[in-house]
Structure 1
Amino acid sequence: MGRRDFLRLAGGGLAGAALLGITGCGGDGAGTQGGEDEPIRIGALLSFSGVYTPLAEDIRRGLELFLELNGNQIAGREVEVRYEDDESDPQVALRLYRQLVGRDRVNFIVGPIISTVALALIDRLERDGVMLIVANAAANELSWEQKSDYAYRVSFSNYQNGSAGARYIAENVGRTAFTVAPDYVAGYEAIEGFRLAYEEAGGEVIEEAYPALGTNDFATYLTNIRRANPELVFAFLSGTDAIRFIQQYDSFGLKGQIPLTGTVELGDPLVTDPAGQSAEGIISGSHYLPGIDNETNRRFVEEFQSRHDRLLNAFNCQGYDSGQVIARAVEEAGSTEPEALIEVLRGISIESPRGPITIDPETNNPIQNYYIGENVWDGERIEVEVIETIEEVAMPPSPPVG
């Protein structure tokens, strides 16, 4: 699906923006790369086809909401967004990146969904002086070995996703865990983050399983869970893998016997809506939940749901915050020149619907709150109830040993 449409959003204005805790987006024009009269150009490089389509569309909805509420302006200048489908393919992404930078002269790239695309872009960003706002890709390398002055993440890292809720789980759910994750890099990174934090909190991972992506039948793994008899299962699974696992966990008789816990994906409507009541009772750690109790989030939910007849999710928030970070950076830098943006992006802070966020200058990864949620069946669908807030979750500046 080609996304070669420039977006010029109308209306909305700064009144709505003020309600969401955004300031200055319609301020004085800045002396910027390309001149004050030039629009600010954003290339959104996302996976609009294939299995990641829902994530890409949700990030787009969040970014569009931010721009609409700000009159489609940043620092007094019009914003143009060109959406492109990278097809989850690094080579396709590199070709599209060259077009966005060479033909369209973008100042920022927003995206991508998958980490292999993000890692493929790093050298090109540094060569061309283009800023990447990482809207989703979670590879630890982006904050460690491949950290770049030209890439700043607004989502989370795999380490953060796995480790954030581990202490709560050890202290409140159980001390022995069986972990499940797909057999690819993100799965191993998330489980390693969980294991290190869980063991530090006094827990023990007694067995690990890594089914192939796209597994249809989890019976072998479920049999092994029953045999191991852990006090809990911790899962990092997404998409149809998560849906199938949750439903089969229920039908296998493990639901209600061994608590199922996991990462943000197990509380996301993209998983819980199709999984249905089988997802009831799951405890997950997430950086965003619609039920977060702060004024910024209440307004965010109201504005979003007035435009879309659906529940919000973390990807909507990541798209929205991508826009927030770009706006704050341009305003504080007074420019879209890379050197000026780098100076302010290191340690930049925003007030997000998920709570306060600061980009850690040691990792270019967000320091942010995480929320422990429990899936509750309301008679029609799963709602996630916030039961604990873990403040200022960061990732270590280098790979931990353990």
Structure 2
Amino acid sequence: MKAAIFHGPHHRLSIEETSIANPGPREVLIRTAAVGLCHSDLHFIDGLYGHEAPAVLGHEAAGVVEKVGSEVRGLEPGDHVITCLSVFCGHCGFCTTGRPFNCDHQHETRRRGDEAPRLSLGEREVQQFYDLSAFAEQMLVHEHAVVRIRKDMPLDRAALIGCAVTTGMGAVTNTARIEVGSTVAVIGCGGVGLSAINGAAIAGAGRIIAIDVQDGKLDLARSFGATDTLNATGCDPVEAVRDLTGGGVDYSFEALGLKRTSEQAYDMLRRSGVATIIGMLPEGEKLELDGVSLLYDKRIQGSNMGSNRFRVDMPRYVDFYLAGRLHLDRMISKRIRLDQINEGFDDLRSGLLARSVITFPG
């Protein structure tokens, strides 16, 4: 199969013929239909996070099951599926208390060192990324990284549910659990931020303030449910949010992964407000907060993949889309081929697009 190979940070990905193994007893072989280009992938390409090479990146994907292992139950060839990086063991303390997104036994879902690798280049093992490796024509994953979906769901839009939607909407509805009528601010209007805005609208937020530096993205944010928009290049977003709301928002969401905007997300809260940091901050980054403000019951928290229970959440998001409530058609800025992946990441770095999606023939 063809795959986009990561040979280390600051290198362009190369399209190479890559071998993929047959499914083990609890593994699923999937023909990739579509995969989104996400900032999480870009963090590794640009060296903000480390990863072994060679590797196949990519994690926001949907496809069609081709083969299943002998012990797989509930999936069969021909099923349409979404993959999720929150692969879970099913029996650790986190899994058995309803928090599979924090599973700390994920290693049990991978092949042992004495087994043949899932991916290889000749005699050399190719590392999997987030247990998925979706920048390829096929994926070989554990059955606990897959959920079956309705066949009337377009797979290019289903791919977005694999990360952007689950991360953004989940942060709003699962992590923060916003209240009906509350005021919300979202910093960053890429795929994750737009999903947070859409989720806040579905959850009944009374006012949703979208913040970005691109007017085009702010216009898009209104179509996802934002009631107000702020271009941060022309104002202090903290003061502007306080002015708009008479003191600050109940909930804020940071979807960029930057120190300054994470601190702003906290500073724009009203008393008893909650800031949720969705973006991936660089390793070692520290945030600075005014300690006195903690006396006002203000809180800051992280969100791991939208605190998802993806086998429940993702089919629900599919239903939202097919009911016209989740606006995935507007999120896709560009559809590209696998061999255009480097240009796609150049577009992502520019900050001008919401989401590019690689589609595969077939």
TM over 0.5: same fold? no
Higher strand fraction (1 or 2): 2
TM-score by length of 1: 0.37
> Per residue, is there more helix in 1 or in 2?
1
TM-score when normalising by structure 2: 0.40
